[in-house]
Amino acid sequence: MRAEALGPAVIRIEATHAALVAGLWLALAPAKAVEPISLMAGGLFMGINFLLLSSGIRWVLTPFAGRGRVRSGVALLVLKMALFLGAITLLFTRVRLDPLSFTLGFSSLLAAILVERVWTLSR
Protein backbone atom coordinates (compact mmCIF):
# COMPACT_ATOMS: atom_id res chain seq x y z
CA MET A 1 0.00 0.00 0.00
CA ARG A 2 1.40 3.40 -0.99
CA ALA A 3 1.80 6.19 1.55
CA GLU A 4 -0.84 8.35 -0.19
CA ALA A 5 -3.41 5.56 0.11
CA LEU A 6 -2.88 5.23 3.87
CA GLY A 7 -5.12 8.19 4.73
CA PRO A 8 -8.54 6.73 3.86
CA ALA A 9 -7.59 3.31 5.23
CA VAL A 10 -6.47 4.83 8.54
CA ILE A 11 -9.72 6.78 8.82
CA ARG A 12 -11.77 3.63 8.13
CA ILE A 13 -9.74 1.67 10.70
CA GLU A 14 -10.13 4.41 13.33
CA ALA A 15 -13.89 4.64 12.67
CA THR A 16 -14.26 0.85 12.91
CA HIS A 17 -12.20 0.87 16.10
CA ALA A 18 -14.42 3.55 17.65
CA ALA A 19 -17.53 1.60 16.65
CA LEU A 20 -16.13 -1.62 18.14
CA VAL A 21 -15.24 0.05 21.45
CA ALA A 22 -18.66 1.71 21.62
CA GLY A 23 -20.35 -1.59 20.77
CA LEU A 24 -18.39 -3.41 23.45
CA TRP A 25 -19.32 -0.73 25.96
CA LEU A 26 -23.01 -0.89 25.04
CA ALA A 27 -23.04 -4.70 25.15
CA LEU A 28 -20.93 -5.39 28.23
CA ALA A 29 -21.30 -2.38 30.55
CA PRO A 30 -24.93 -3.03 31.58
CA ALA A 31 -23.94 -6.55 32.68
CA LYS A 32 -21.02 -5.08 34.67
CA ALA A 33 -18.63 -7.28 32.63
CA VAL A 34 -16.28 -4.38 31.90
CA GLU A 35 -15.28 -1.16 33.58
CA PRO A 36 -16.29 1.57 31.11
CA ILE A 37 -13.49 4.03 31.97
CA SER A 38 -10.81 1.36 31.51
CA LEU A 39 -12.39 0.17 28.26
CA MET A 40 -12.51 3.69 26.85
CA ALA A 41 -8.97 4.45 28.09
CA GLY A 42 -7.63 1.37 26.30
CA GLY A 43 -9.46 2.25 23.12
CA LEU A 44 -8.37 5.88 23.25
CA PHE A 45 -4.78 4.96 24.06
CA MET A 46 -4.52 2.58 21.13
CA GLY A 47 -6.41 4.89 18.77
CA ILE A 48 -3.99 7.75 19.45
CA ASN A 49 -1.01 5.41 19.20
CA PHE A 50 -2.18 4.05 15.84
CA LEU A 51 -2.91 7.53 14.51
CA LEU A 52 0.56 8.76 15.50
CA LEU A 53 2.19 5.65 14.05
CA SER A 54 0.40 5.98 10.71
CA SER A 55 1.12 9.71 10.60
CA GLY A 56 4.75 9.02 11.40
CA ILE A 57 5.04 6.53 8.59
CA ARG A 58 3.30 8.85 6.16
CA TRP A 59 4.95 12.15 7.15
CA VAL A 60 8.31 11.09 8.57
CA LEU A 61 9.55 7.91 6.95
CA THR A 62 8.31 8.52 3.41
CA PRO A 63 10.01 11.94 2.94
CA PHE A 64 13.19 10.78 4.66
CA ALA A 65 13.34 7.63 2.54
CA GLY A 66 13.49 9.75 -0.60
CA ARG A 67 16.55 11.55 0.74
CA GLY A 68 18.19 8.46 2.19
CA ARG A 69 17.58 9.35 5.86
CA VAL A 70 15.50 6.41 6.99
CA ARG A 71 17.40 6.22 10.29
CA SER A 72 16.06 9.62 11.39
CA GLY A 73 12.49 8.53 10.75
CA VAL A 74 12.98 5.24 12.54
CA ALA A 75 14.57 7.06 15.50
CA LEU A 76 11.54 9.36 15.78
CA LEU A 77 9.15 6.40 15.70
CA VAL A 78 11.22 4.60 18.36
CA LEU A 79 10.99 7.76 20.50
CA LYS A 80 7.19 7.74 20.06
CA MET A 81 7.06 4.10 21.10
CA ALA A 82 9.19 4.78 24.18
CA LEU A 83 6.93 7.66 25.18
CA PHE A 84 3.83 5.50 24.81
CA LEU A 85 5.38 2.67 26.79
CA GLY A 86 6.16 5.18 29.52
CA ALA A 87 2.59 6.48 29.39
CA ILE A 88 1.12 2.99 29.69
CA THR A 89 3.44 2.27 32.61
CA LEU A 90 2.22 5.42 34.34
CA LEU A 91 -1.38 4.47 33.62
CA PHE A 92 -1.04 1.09 35.28
CA THR A 93 1.07 2.20 38.24
CA ARG A 94 -0.60 5.52 39.12
CA VAL A 95 -4.19 5.21 37.89
CA ARG A 96 -6.51 2.42 38.98
CA LEU A 97 -7.62 0.77 35.75
CA ASP A 98 -9.11 -2.65 35.25
CA PRO A 99 -6.46 -4.46 33.17
CA LEU A 100 -8.93 -6.76 31.39
CA SER A 101 -11.20 -3.90 30.33
CA PHE A 102 -8.21 -1.83 29.25
CA THR A 103 -6.89 -4.76 27.21
CA LEU A 104 -10.28 -5.26 25.57
CA GLY A 105 -10.31 -1.63 24.44
CA PHE A 106 -6.65 -1.84 23.48
CA SER A 107 -6.98 -5.00 21.40
CA SER A 108 -10.15 -3.92 19.61
CA LEU A 109 -7.88 -2.02 17.23
CA LEU A 110 -6.50 -5.33 15.98
CA ALA A 111 -10.03 -6.50 15.22
CA ALA A 112 -10.74 -3.18 13.45
CA ILE A 113 -7.64 -3.61 11.27
CA LEU A 114 -8.68 -7.15 10.42
CA VAL A 115 -12.25 -6.09 9.55
CA GLU A 116 -11.02 -3.22 7.37
CA ARG A 117 -8.53 -5.40 5.47
CA VAL A 118 -11.06 -8.19 4.88
CA TRP A 119 -13.62 -5.62 3.69
CA THR A 120 -11.06 -3.99 1.36
CA LEU A 121 -9.87 -7.30 -0.09
CA SER A 122 -13.41 -8.56 -0.65
CA ARG A 123 -14.33 -5.55 -2.80
* pLDDT tens column, 56-94: 777 666 665 666 566 777 777 888 889 888 988 887 788
Q: Residue 50 and residue 11: Cα distance in Å, rounded?
A: 11
Q: Residue 26 and residue 120: Cα distance in Å, rounded?
A: 27
Domain boundaries, the chain: 3-122
Whole-structure pTM value? 0.78
* pLDDT tens column, 31-50: 889 999 999 999 998 998 89
* 99-122 and 6-28 helices, crossing angle to 10°: 130
